[in-house]
Amino acid sequence: MSAMSTGAPVFGTDVPQPVQYGPPGGMMRRLNLVTAVVLGVGCAAIAGFVIDAVVPSTASTATFAPVAPDLIYLGMLAGWVIGFMAGIGAFVGPIRWFMGRDLTHLDAEYMAGKDLGWRRYFKFTTDHKVVGLQYLVVTMFLLGLGGLLAMLIRTELGVTWAEVFSPSFYNSMIGTHGIAMILAMILAVMGPIANFIMPMMIGARDMAFPRLNALSLWLVVVAAVCLVSTLFTGGIQDGWSVYQPLASQGPPAMLGYQMTIIVFAISTGVASINLIVTAVTMRAKGMTWTRTPILVYGVIAAALMGLYAFPFFQYAQIMALTDRIWDTSFFNPLQGGSVWLYENLFWLLGHPEVYVILIPGTAVLFEIMPVFLRKPLFSFNFAVAGIIGVVALSGLVWAHHMYMTGWAPSTNYPFMLSTELISIPVGFLVLVVIGTMWRGLVWTRLPVLAVYAVIFNKMIGGVTGIYLSDVPADQYFHGSVFVVAHFHYMLMGAALFAAMAGLAFYFPKMTGRVLDERTASIGFWTAFVGFQVTFMAMFVAGLQGMPRRVLQFDSLFNAPNQIATVGAYIIGIGMLIFAGAVVYSWSSGDRAPANPFGSKSLEWQTPTPVPLENFAVLPVISERPYTYGVPDPYENVSLNSERKPDAQRVGGSP
């Protein structure tokens, strides 16, 4: 360590190390979540004050005056983003590099949270395990926000003509609920599980770019606050898709929505690059692609889709922002713009995003089943082919959301074909699930039972999706609550329940505690039953013709809406019980052993709690994963002879 602080060669190499200036961490020792919030709020206030003082004096026409509140709000949002990121320490590394004082090894250890205890969870910490748990908390916050708004929405829809909320607030609840849940579901697996588990699963000591990992997390925090701010500035009143140019006529909250998406897209791009580079370049010696666990394939697939698809959404929001503030005409038909341009940009993300959510959740199921069925994954190659097929086709189906818009009617049937073709690689994944379950000896614990719930929901979501991909049927179902029920079965019924299964599985490794499965199971199955009640009733209402995003409706729809509202409250109760089990177990549960489920993959071969660098000795892999039930060549070896450990035949490498 002393050699690192003096610039002398380390470990006998000729690579000089940066000189240590002051105590490890430097300025980072003074920065944390409190300083970030204070500086973010301060910069927002200063930006708002300056713009409020400057804009009226520079307005040369009366038409500029209505834009002033928008400019003030936009300036405050930008000030919040920059101030918060400066206050948390996101700029310290680049500034030190620019000054010729790059981070030393001791600085890097401090930033990784070494010897900081609980304080590391409130700092710009680079350890992938800390980032994974931070992502878990942020995801739970977004799910809580979206879930609370869902309860309020169903409260309104549980009555017929009475108005519990004003129409404008009801519309804002619809929009905020939608985008909050979409962002939460994108993070549900790719945030906590991918960040915490994947580096250990491939035998790495951390992510390829640890500082980028922390950056992606805190950008999500910044974006979440921008989203919450919309509730106090008029609300997102045009649904989560905020079609233009209608949305540009809405309240200032649209700027908060646009800043949320712009910042979140930066976070997604940074995280995607980091995950891909980590998985491709940092796998353990001997871990060829045929020996790489399926979860890694799922993470790479989702990162690739997010990397190419999210910029479309980001660009759409940047152009919409300039239309509103600087009177450009990207989407305004009266000035030569195109409404269809926005719809294409939006759905170029909007449908790949479905698979960004579904594929990691499915990959988690593939990790759970071999462990609790004690048999190899059925056709590893089939699973990989299915994931690759989904990635390849995911960008060719977006226009099935636009059948009824009048855009390029001649493309309707080609897009109907591409949409139905994507069911083939998805079918591969279903066959892998069925084949793995076939004649398996099930160890009935919550993670594997949750797999059954996900399969049930995914079957219903998949079958109902066939109707919506068909042009003649979609003409009837379009704009109805049938569509709402369908995508909730896919995004919540399949993806969220899969994330809950993954959390139940990886909980001991992530927290070092044993999950109270009895209480968590009660919450899980309560939510599952409530989910069926809610969205089956919405299927019925949709078949009857009830439109979505409607505050008041005909008495014809009373019964299904009242049933759906009761089901929604059951979901809420179940989710609260499950969250309570997680929080209680995390704080007061029994200490977990290193490998409570007897898994063979690498992440379970580390101690619990996991040490800072994961592996004292880097592992070497000599066989494929999921070899449960395969005859052990070492079974009859004498106890006095050396026997390789049981984690994919892991060896040691200095």
pLDDT, position 498? 95
pLDDT, position 67? 67
pLDDT, position 145? 96
What number is the average pLDDT over the span 324-349?
A: 91
What number is the average pLDDT over the span 324-331?
A: 90
Q: How many CB atoms lie within 10 A of CB 365?
A: 28
Least confident of 229-243, 274-288, 629-643: 629-643
Closest CA to 457 of 494, 430, 497: 494
pLDDT, position 650? 47
pLDDT, position 162? 75
Residue 124 has φ and ψ, to the nearest 5°, of -75, 80
pLDDT, position 15? 63
Cis ω on the peptide bond leading into residue 252 (within 30° of 0)? Answer: no
In three state form, how does the secondary structure of 8-70 look? CCCCCCCCCCCCCCCCCCHHHHHCCHHHHHHHHHHHHHHHHHHHHHHHHHHCCCHHHHHHHHH
What number is the average pLDDT over the span 519-523?
A: 97
Alpha-carbon separation of residue 455 from 350, 366, 433 (angstroms): 23, 12, 9
pLDDT, position 621? 92
Pull the structure tokens for residue 298: 């799922």
Q: How do residues 382-425 score in pLDDT, each as one tens digit?
A: 999 999 999 999 989 998 999 988 888 999 999 999 999 998 99
Element (H, E) at 618: strand 618-620
What number is the average pLDDT over the span 264-274?
A: 96
Least confident of 58-72, 175-189, 555-569: 58-72
Whether pLDDT at 279 is above 70: yes
pLDDT, position 61? 43
**What confidence category does residue 54 fall into, taking pLDDT thresholds of 50, 70 and 90?**
confident
Three-state DSSP class for 163? Answer: coil
Q: Give the domain ranges of the chain.
A: 2-103, 125-588
Q: How do residues 432-462 score in pLDDT, each as one tens digit?
A: 999 999 988 899 999 999 999 999 999 999 9
Whether pLDDT at 56 is above 70: no
pLDDT, position 556? 87
Q: How do residues 603-613 score in pLDDT, each as one tens digit?
A: 999 999 999 99
Pull the structure tokens for residue 79: 């000030």
Mean pLDDT: which of 63-67, 194-198, 325-329 is highest? Answer: 194-198
pLDDT, position 101? 84
Whether pLDDT at 300 is above 80: yes
Alpha-carbon separation of residue 136 from 275, 500, 573, 581 (angstroms): 17, 11, 20, 15
Q: What percent of the chain has pLDDT over 90?
A: 72
Q: What percent of the chain has pLDDT over 70?
A: 92
Pull the structure tokens for residue 96: 């030190």
CATH topology of domain 125-588: Cytochrome C Oxidase; Chain A (1.20.210)
- Characterise 641 by phi-psi region: left (phi > 0), alpha (psi -120 to 50), beta (else): beta
pLDDT, position 292? 96
Whether pLDDT at 642 is above 50: no
Whether pLDDT at 637 is above 70: no
Whether pLDDT at 635 is above 70: no
**What confidence category does residue 163 fall into, taking pLDDT thresholds of 50, 70 and 90?**
confident
pLDDT, position 57? 52
Whether pLDDT at 210 is above 80: yes
Provide the greatest CA pair distance for the chain: 92
**What confidence category does residue 632 fall into, taking pLDDT thresholds of 50, 70 and 90?**
low
Whether pLDDT at 7 is above 80: no
Residue 547 has φ and ψ, to the nearest 5°, of -75, 155
User: Dihedral sign, CA of 577, 583, 585, 587?
Assistant: negative
pTM, two decimals, is 0.92
What number is the average pLDDT over the span 102-116?
A: 90
Instruction: Return d(Cα 614, Cα 189) in angstroms, integer.
Output: 20
**What confidence category does residue 9 fall into, taking pLDDT thresholds of 50, 70 and 90?**
very low
Mean residue pLDDT of the chain comes to: 89
pLDDT, position 135? 97
Instruction: Return d(Cα 633, Cα 637) in angstroms, integer.
Output: 8
